[in-house]
């Protein structure tokens, strides 16, 4: 395992840039632009598909080399304006898996057509709560956003209407021990991992062709991965994403035996097998690649939640697929926590795997 502070700095600055940017499912343009800029120097071709997924292609040196699809979803969970009341308060729909309590009293950014507007998710003060109020969790349907408007007309003039996207206002910060916090590390950590892999492949003689794909709309149904997997026609695929560790109060090793700072997670299965059952050859490839470079991996067996891999492996006649995941505390909240060493070691693992891919997979006959 590495402890190189320079590579940590490079990864931290990518993660800071991507997680401070905004992109709820269906609105990934900003992240797509950042990715295009950052991948320009390390891809032979960059395009967007009709749904908005970014596809960066790095051609391999061997005509018989396999094609590897890397998929990192660019979207984040967020909110959308649903209704504006006569007093200028916004009601909203949830996009993605929020625990409603997490939203209460957050500061948010409303991405209006005339520019971003700050808002707060307001609630009844404790002074006027009944004992029942104090005990029961507030549902998102009972919450509202205050942008400082005096009435509905005021809101309209700010460029806010039903369909306007909303994200949480929380910026990246460093904690102790190379651990960092911010919003949407799910999945900007996967995006940072993918970009850093492409950077480190630069100048290397790689037999395989790599499709680095920033997918859209993962959090609302693994949608971008479906269309991009079809386009990539890959021989093997890896979803790069985040997952739940069981290493803090309120959760046990039985809920999740994974820990932050203990290395990349190679999923064996997720959603009790209803999502992905990783292809045995992909697991073998990843574990042997990790052994080769002496990076410890954690094996993931999840019972809830899944990744783009679920959609990718069912494409065309089937694509052998696995995942490399980063343990992320407080996932699907605006205060997610990650250990940068896990991203660094995941980068090293994926680079090593790509270098050796032709020994495990061959180009399919067309």
DSSP 160-199: --TT-EEEE----EE-STTEEEES-HHHHHHHHHHHHHHH
Q: Which of 344, 303, 359, 298 is nearest to 323 (CA)?
A: 298
Helix (H) or strand (E) holding 34: helix 29-39
Q: Which is nearer to Zn ion, 186 or 259 (CB)?
A: 186
The rounded distance, in Å, linking the Cα atoms of 63 and 248 is 48
Question: 296 CB contacts (<8 Å, ≥6 apart)?
Answer: 1, 262, 263, 290, 345
Q: Are 8 and 196 in contact (CB under 8 A)?
A: no
Closest separation between CB of residue 234 and Zn ion, Å?
20
Q: Which is nearer to Zn ion, 160 or 309 (CB)?
A: 309
Whether 344 is catalytic:
no
Q: Which is nearer to Zn ion, 246 or 305 (CB)?
A: 305
Q: Which is nearer to Zn ion, 65 or 190 (CB)?
A: 190
The rounded distance, in Å, linking the Cα atoms of 244 and 222 is 18
Closest separation between CB of residue 332 and Zn ion, Å?
9
Task: Specify the DSSP class assigned to residue 133.
Answer: H
Closest separation between CB of residue 358 and Zn ion, Å?
29
Catalytic member of 16, 28, 196, 218: 218
- Residues forming the site for Zn ion (CB under 5 A): 186-187, 241
Closest separation between CB of residue 73 and Zn ion, Å?
6
Query: Could you list the active site residues?
Result: 218
């Amino acid at each position: 395992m590495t402890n190189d502070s320079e590579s940590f700095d490079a990864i931290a600055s990518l993660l800071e840039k991507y997680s401070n940017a905004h992109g709820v499912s269906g609105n990934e343009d900003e992240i797509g632009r950042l990715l295009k800029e950052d991948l320009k120097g390390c891809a032979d071709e960059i395009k967007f598909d009709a749904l908005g997924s970014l596809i960066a292609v790095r051609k391999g040196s061997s005509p018989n080399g396999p094609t590897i699809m890397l998929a990192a979803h660019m979207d984040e969970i967020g909110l959308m304006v649903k209704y504006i009341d006569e007093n200028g308060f916004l009601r909203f729909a949830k996009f993605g898996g929020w625990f409603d309590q997490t939203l209460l009293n957050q500061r948010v950014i409303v991405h209006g057509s005339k520019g971003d507007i700050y808002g707060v998710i307001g609630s009844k003060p404790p002074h006027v709560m009944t004992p029942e109020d104090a005990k029961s969790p507030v549902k998102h349907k009972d919450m509202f956003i205050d942008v400082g408007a005096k009435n509905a007309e005021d809101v309209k003039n700010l460029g806010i209407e039903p369909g306007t996207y909303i994200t949480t206002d929380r910026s990246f910060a460093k904690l102790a021990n190379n651990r960092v916090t911010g919003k949407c590390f799910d999945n900007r950590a996967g995006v940072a991992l993918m970009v850093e892999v492409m950077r480190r492949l630069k100048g290397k003689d790689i037999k395989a062709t790599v499709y680095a794909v920033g997918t859209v709309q993962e959090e609302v149904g693994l949608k971008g991965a479906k269309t991009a997997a079809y386009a990539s026609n890959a021989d093997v695929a890896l979803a790069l994403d985040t997952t739940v560790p069981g290493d803090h109060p309120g959760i046990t090793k039985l809920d999740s035996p994974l820990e932050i700072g203990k290395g990349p997670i190679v999923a064996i299965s997720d959603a009790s097998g209803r999502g992905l059952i990783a292809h045995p050859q992909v697991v073998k490839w990843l574990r042997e690649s990790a052994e080769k470079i002496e990076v410890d991996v954690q094996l993931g067996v999840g019972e809830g939640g899944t990744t783009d891999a679920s959609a990718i492996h069912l494409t065309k006649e089937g694509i052998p697929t696995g995942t490399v995941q980063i343990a992320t505390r407080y996932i699907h909240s605006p205060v997610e926590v990650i250990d940068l060493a896990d991203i660094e070691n995941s980068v090293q693992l994926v680079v090593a795997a790509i270098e050796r891919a032709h020994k495990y997979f061959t180009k399919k006959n067309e």
